[in-house]
């Protein structure tokens, strides 16, 4: 039986913006996964808190999943309410009945890949998942460790049911900063976030206080 190829895209999503959406569509259009799950990070109390609270961040993710095909919400880390290493989260998800007979890929940026071997149990993690990497300006493969370079494969050779592969995705660069959105330095959020996210942000009045702090 073929495994269902699952992509996991984690982040603060404060807020979810068009840069995130462009990456998701690129991955799905390249057929690197069958589905993608968006997993908002849990933010512990002793760290700087997102402007949007947990419920608002989840609500934005649910809106994305309502409007996009093959994209689903995953509130695992927020419900768990404890900080987990990526290795631990993936191990727990792989043992979750919801994800039986699934293969996993992590969606990360090139900046994260450069430092990947410093992650907790990095090699064990890579042996249990694939990495789908969004290209970033000023980050080139020659900065990677040889152990990572040896695992690189082309999109055409990528086996989404296997593990231990690293594939680069050509993603249209969108110069968007979540911090800039939160501070309202962008004049027209309609060009930066999906319309339904913009509507939700305005209805909830999420980032106006943050903008006031910047003045």
Range list of H helices, 48-165: 54-67, 76-80, 86-94, 110-114, 122-126, 146-149
> Which pTM value belongs to this model?
0.89
pLDDT attached to residue 154 = 93
Segment 49-89, tens digit of pLDDT: 888 999 999 999 999 999 999 999 999 999 998 878 999 99
Domain ranges, ordered by start, for the chain? 4-175
Could you give the C-alpha distances from 4 to 41, 68, 87, 105, 177, in angstroms and in order? Answer: 24, 19, 20, 11, 33
CATH architecture of 4-175: 3-Layer(aba) Sandwich (3.40)
pLDDT of residue 176: 60
The length of the chain, given as a count of residues:
215
Find, among 167, 172, 166, 108, the residue nearest to 137 by Cα.
172
């Amino acid at each position: 039986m073929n495994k269902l190829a699952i992509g996991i895209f984690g982040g603060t999503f404060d807020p979810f913006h068009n840069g995130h959406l462009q990456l998701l569509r690129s991955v799905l259009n390249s057929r690197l996964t069958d589905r993608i799950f968006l997993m908002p990070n849990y933010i512990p109390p002793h760290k700087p808190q997102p402007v949007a609270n947990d419920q608002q961040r989840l609500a934005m993710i649910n809106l994305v999943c309502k409007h996009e095909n093959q994209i689903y919400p995953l509130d695992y880390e927020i419900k768990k309410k404890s900080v987990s290493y990526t290795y631990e989260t993936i191990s727990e998800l792989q043992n979750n009945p919801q994800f039986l007979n699934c293969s996993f890929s992590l969606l990360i940026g090139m900046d994260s890949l450069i430092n990947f071997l410093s992650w907790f149990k990095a090699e064990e993690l890579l042996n249990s998942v694939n990495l789908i990497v969004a290209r970033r300006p000023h980050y080139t493969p020659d900065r990677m460790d040889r152990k990572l370079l040896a695992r690189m494969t082309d999109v055409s050779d990528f086996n989404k049911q296997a593990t231990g592969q690293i594939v680069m995705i050509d993603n249209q660069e969108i110069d968007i900063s979540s911090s800039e959105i939160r501070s309202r330095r962008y004049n027209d959020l309609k060009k930066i976030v999906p319309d339904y996210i913009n509507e939700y942000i305005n209805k909830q009045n999420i980032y106006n206080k943050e903008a006031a702090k910047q003045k």
